Amino acid sequence: MVDRVLVTLDGTVRDPDAPLLSADDIGALRGDGVFETILVREGKACALELHLARLRRSAQALDLPEPNLARWRSAIEIAAKEWGTEREGQLRTVLTRGREGATTSRVTSGPLSDAPESTAYVLVSAVAERVNKARAEGISVITLPRGISVELAQNAPWLLLGAKTLSYATNMSALRFAARQNADDVIFTSTEHRVLEGPRSTVVIQRDKQLLTPPARNGVLPGITQRALFAEAERAGWECQYKSFFTADLITADSVWLLSSITLAARVSSLDGLRCSAPDCAPEIVELVNRGIARPWSQSDW
C-alpha cells in the first residue's frame, strides 16, 4: 500500500521521494501560491467541483494565471485512483507562482507547469491520527484574538483574507500555541469579539433546528464542508444562516462545530476550559455532513 502519491499537472505519477521543487520556487520562498485540501474517500475526491471552483477563485485573488481546471480535475482523479479505495486520504493541490524570475526572464515550461511559469502538483498522504479522535470524541478549543476587525476584508483586499493561500505559518503557530495550553484547536475572534474561523476550519453553531456560520465578508474562508452541511440540512428542514455572532454566542449555543474537508465535523467538547455536552442532534449533523460531501456538486454551486 502506497503511503504517498504525487502527480504533476500533466498527469504523470511521480516518485514522492524524489525532489520536485526548485530552490527558488516562490511558493517556498514566500508562500506565494494557493492550495486546496480534499478528502479522498473510496478512491474519489469529495466535493471536487467545489474545491476546483475555490482554487480558481483563490488564484484570481492572487493574480495567478487562470488554472486549467480540466487538467487539475484529471490530475486529481489520477492521484485519488492511485491512492486506492482501502482508506481515506488527504489530497492537496498546490499551485505556486513558480520560479523566481520565470515570468520575466526565465520560462520554465514542462510537466510541472499550469501556465508556463506556475508550479502545480497533487499530493496525497494518509489522514492524520488526530482526525479519527476528533470525529469520534470531539475537540477541546480555545478562543484566540486574530487582531483584525470584521471590516478589514472589504477594506483591504490585498490581505487575501478569503483566499486559501499557502501562507499558513500564523495558523500553524496558533495551533502550536493551543497545544501548549492542552487544547486541540482554536477559534479566532475579531477585535469586536465576533467569531471568525479556526486556523483550518469553519465555525458553525447550532441552536435548536438552526445552524449559523459567520459570513465570508467578515474575512473568513468560505468553507466547502460548511457549504455541504447547509445544503443537506436545509433539505432536512433546518434553518441555515450566514450571520455574524459573538464569542458569547459560542457559550449559549446548543453545540459548536469546527468543519473542514478532512476532519469533516468535529464537535467542540470544551471551550476555553468549559465543558460542552453533546446535543441529541449531534449524530444527525455528522450524517448531514457526510451526505453533503458525497453529493454531486457542480461549479455553479460555489
Yes or no: say if 14 and 75 are a contact pair by the CB < 8 Å rule.
Answer: no
Q: What one-character-per-residue DSSP string does 157-191 give?
A: GGG-TTS-BS--HHHHHHHHHHHHTT-SEEEEE-T
Is 221 a binding residue for ligand PLP by CB under 6 A? The answer is yes
CA distances from 50 to 143, 158, 270, 293 (A): 29, 24, 31, 10
For ligand PLP, which residue of 27, 98, 214, 223 counts as binding (CB under 6 A)?
A: 223
Site string for ligand PLP, 18-37 (x = CB under 6 A): -------------------x
Interface with ligand PLP, residue 93, by CB under 6 A: no
Shortest separation between residue 259's beta carbon and ligand PLP, angstroms:
5
Q: How far is the CB of 53 from ligand PLP (least distance, A)?
A: 11
Name which of 53 and 112 has its Cβ closer to ligand PLP.
53
Inter-CA distances, 246 with 51, 196, 298, Å: 29, 9, 33
Helices (H) and strands (E) in the chain, counts: 9, 14
- Residue 226 Cβ vs ligand PLP, minimum distance, rounded to whole Å: 6
Min. distance of Cβ 272 from ligand PLP in angstroms? 20
Residue 183 or 259 having the CB closest to ligand PLP: 259
How many residues interact with ligand PLP (rule CB under 6 A)?
12
Residues 234-263, interacting with ligand PLP (CB under 6 A): 259-261
How many C-beta atoms lie closer than 10 Å to residue 249's C-beta? Answer: 17
Dist. CA 186–CA 109, nearest whole Å = 41
Q: For ligand PLP, which is the closer residue by CB, 108 or 244?
A: 244
| 125 contributes a contact to ligand PLP by CB under 6 A | no
- The smaller minimum CB distance to ligand PLP, of residues 99 and 200, is found at 200
d(CA 135, CA 125): 19
- Subset of 187-216 contacting ligand PLP (CB under 6 A): 197, 200-202
Residues 6+ apart with CB under 8 A from 220: 161, 162, 196, 197, 202, 214
Chain residues in the site for ligand PLP (CB under 6 A): 37, 197, 200-202, 221, 223-225, 259-261
